[in-house]
Amino acid sequence: MRGSSSRRSTPRSPTGSGCVALSASESDVPTRPVVGLTTYLQQAQSGVWDVHASFLPGIYLDGVTLAGGIATLLPPQPVDADIAARVTDGLDGLIITGGRDVDPAAYGHDAHPSTDEPARDRDAWEFALLAAALRRGMPVLGICRGVQVLNVALGGTLLADIASQRPGAINHRRLDQRSEIVHEVLLTPESLLSKITGGHSLGVNSTHHQAVARVAGPLRVAATSRDGIIEGLELKPGAARMLPFLLGVQFHPERLVKRHREHRAIFAAFVQACARNGKFDL
């Protein structure tokens, strides 16, 4: 748990140039960190049941457990600052997962015709968890919707619909190829994401129709697609001194961890930071 003084240092990985190795061995992650993952809360079917349920695709758990972490699910529930604080007391890191669109009212915009029906309970829960995690200096990873939650929570806005509002953009909603590399993103030099993956560009999957518009004040762009759509955010260098690991990506690395080293490296660096109170090897 957080504040533990029993963690041993983790040896630097020999894998690749600046690329963190994925390993579940105890020598790499001496104290397996507990990582909380936010979940869906919507209608679902299982056996004879067709009910309102909390669930999350198992590939998210793979990303954490293959990197040596312990995954625990955080379903939406009535929001209370004390509840969020108590929950994060038991965590070493937080992943805000993918899902439906953030309610545009949260960043002062009207709904676009393509906007999903809002999941305000989930929005409020994730905003509360994120606030509690940031107060603790806890490592945070946002995936797809998650990077948008990070940006909105910290004061940024979203592009409601790429296809209609950026007509020159590529197709970013490739649902039939969600587990495949479909386009390239350019990584900001010296960014956390470029150091983790060990390169200047990264092949990614793409299933989103929204994107970051105005970047929140504490954040900077870590990656963009060639059409200018923001694909990654992280803390500005000054803020990063106080919170070493906060990263949001618009793509889904959890779908690519078993076949692509660079995407494994994202989870490896995050889990290592969780195990070592925000510190990790690059």
42-81, pLDDT tens digit by residue? 888 888 888 888 889 999 999 999 999 999 999 999 898 8
Q: Could you read off the pLDDT of 81-125 as tens digits, one per residue?
A: 899 999 999 999 999 999 999 999 999 999 988 888 899 999 999
What type of residue sits at position 42?
Answer: Q
Spatial distance between the Cα atoms of 149 and 233, rounded to a whole number of angstroms = 11
The answer to whether residue 269 sits within a structural domain is: yes
Q: Which of 183, 252, 260, 263 is catalytic?
A: 252
The CATH number linked to 164 is 3.40.50.880
Share of the chain above pLDDT 90, in %: 61
Distance CA(282)–CA(274), nearest Å, equals 15
Residue 248 in domain:
yes
Tokens describing residue 145 = 């919707």
- pTM attached to this predicted model: 0.87
Q: What pLDDT does residue 114 have?
A: 86
Rounded CA gap, 67 and 223, in Å?
Answer: 23
Residue 96 covered by a domain: yes
Asked if residue 161 is part of any domain, the answer here is: yes
For residue 15, being part of any structural domain is answered with no
Note if 252 is an active site residue. Answer: yes
HEC profile of 53-110: EEECCHHHHHHHHHCCCEEEEECCCCCCHHHHHHHHHCCCEEEECCCCCCCHHHHCCC
Q: Which of the residues 209, 254, 262, 263 is marked catalytic? A: 254
Which residue among 19, 144, 172, 260 is the active-site one? 144
Does a structural domain hold residue 7? Answer: no
Contact between 248 and 193 (Cβ < 8 Å): no
Residue 78 belongs to domain spanning: 34-275
| Short-list 149, 137, 70, CA closest to 107 | 149
Count other Cβ atoms within 10 Å, centred on residue 98: 23
